[in-house]
Structure 1
Amino acid sequence: MEGNFLCSAPAFLFFLLLFSSYTTLVYNSTDAENIKKSCATTLYPQLCCKYLSSYSNKIKNNPKVLATSALSITLSITRSTLQTMKNISRSGDLKPREIGAMQDCLEELNDSIDGLQKSMEEFSMSHGKDDPKFVLEMNDVETWVSAALTDDNTCMDGFDESNMNGQLKTMVRKFILRIAHLASISLTFINHYAAQ
């Protein structure tokens, strides 16, 4: 009997490991489903899933962590977009009208980053609905993210007003739409959290 138990121990360990792996996959699948469902409530579900799916184990089903993660991603992508735009503006290949439009756009992106930073700080320090300041805090956060979204959209005005066509305008539009859409996603999750 003892010999049979020893022989079957490796098989038992194999099935234990297999079951453990399966439950982990199911658990992670549930986290991924939560992200998918949350992203379906936004205007840009595919973009939302693309950027937030890797955070699913951290977010789980927590609306505050979801909104914070979306804000953090938006801020990070906006910063990297600003750096890319600065590099383009220093390339020396731009026409005078393009230089002017790029400078205006860089200012708008700086303002956008400022608003997103303020919203991150305020959102992370909020104490929840039991705090008498909760509504005011959420209003401030929503206002800053909305302002960042407006800044992103205003960035394109200089390119549109000068009737520029071509590669630069197309490239800038692609960058700006991405961060504007991410800001929109963040705002959706903040609004959901504030309304709960």
Structure 2
Amino acid sequence: MQTQRSNTLAIALSTYFLLLLCPSPPRAAAARDPVRSSCAEARYPSLCIQTLSNFSNSSAKPLDLAQGAVKVTLTRTRSLSLYLKTLQSRTAASAPKRQRVALSDCVSQISDSVTELSRALNELQHLRAGTFEWQMSNAQTWTSAALTNGNACLDGFNAAAAAAAAIRLEVKRRVTDVGMLTSNALYMITRLGDTGRN
């Protein structure tokens, strides 16, 4: 009986000392960064993280991130629209006809994008439980249309071979930038639709 108690005590002490010597399991990470985890699957994850950096290390929900992504995209699209209108008025007299037509199309398409992104943002800001899926579908459709407009603008302007190289490159850079933001915004809206209103 005494030997059995001694063995039990020895085993208990050995286990205790082993537990003291073993490194403790890593603590659960503090709260996961909602931006990094949400942007991981976006088409342009680094841009997504940079765009939504104001939400880092916060309790931001998918709705906050979707609205934030659309707001940033809308702001940048408005800036692009203004740039294109200014470029159009500046080159109206001197640019070759093909370039003028391409630029005019771009102005119209990007202006449409501003309207569509505004509608998408409005839907996201007024979501209701009873119409959630329908509103999400609207937001996705309008954001997707804005993305298509940007691609059409680029295609038309790239076809205008007579356009000055510097102008063509600058238009391409700005439209591509907005396209990347729009793609990420569409991803965030789709993600919100998949996760629900939270």
- Please indicate the TM-score interval, normalised by the length of the shorter structure: 0.7 to 0.9
| Stretch of structure 1 that moved more, 159-168 or 170-179 | 159-168
The one-letter code matched in structure 1 to 2:51 is Y
Per-residue CA deviation, residues 142-191 of structure 1 (Å, 9 max, x unaligned), is 10100111011111122222334611111111111111111110111111
Name the residue aligned to 1:149: 147
Q: Which residue of 1 aligns with 2:99?
A: 98
Q: How many residues align?
A: 163
**What secondary structure, in the 3-state scheme, does the structure 1 residue paired with 2:141 have?**
helix
Which residue in the other structure is 1:16 paired with?
Answer: none
Give the residue type in structure 1 aligned to 2:82. Answer: Q
SS in 1 for 2:52: helix
The structure that is helix-richer by fraction is: 1
Please provide the CA RMSD for this pair. Answer: 1.9
- CA distance in 1: counterparts of 2:59 and 2:75, whole angstroms: 21
Retained in 1: the 8 A contact 2:96–2:162?
no
- Percent identical across equivalent pairs? 29
Structure 2 residue 115 is matched with structure 1 residue 114:
yes
The match for 2:167 is 168
The aligned amino acid for 1:193 is L
Q: Which stretch shifts more, 147-156 or 42-51? A: 42-51
One-letter amino acid matched to 1:126 = L
Question: 1:30 deviation in Å?
Answer: 5.5
Structure 2 counterpart SS, 1:48: helix
Q: What SS does the aligned partner of 1:156 have?
A: helix
Q: Is it true that 1:65 corresponds to 2:64 in the alignment?
A: yes
Deviations 1:24-57 (A, max 9, x none): xxxxx957x3212222210111211222113436
TM-score, reference length from structure 1:
0.76
Give the alignment of 1:1-196 within 5 angstroms: 33-56=33-56, 60-92=59-91, 94-127=95-128, 131-164=129-162, 166-196=165-195
- Structure 2: where are the runs of 5+ without partners? 1-29
List per-residue Cα deviations over 1:94-143 (Å, max 9, x = no partner): 3332221111000000111111011111111012xxx2311111111110
Q: Which has the larger radius of gyration?
A: 2
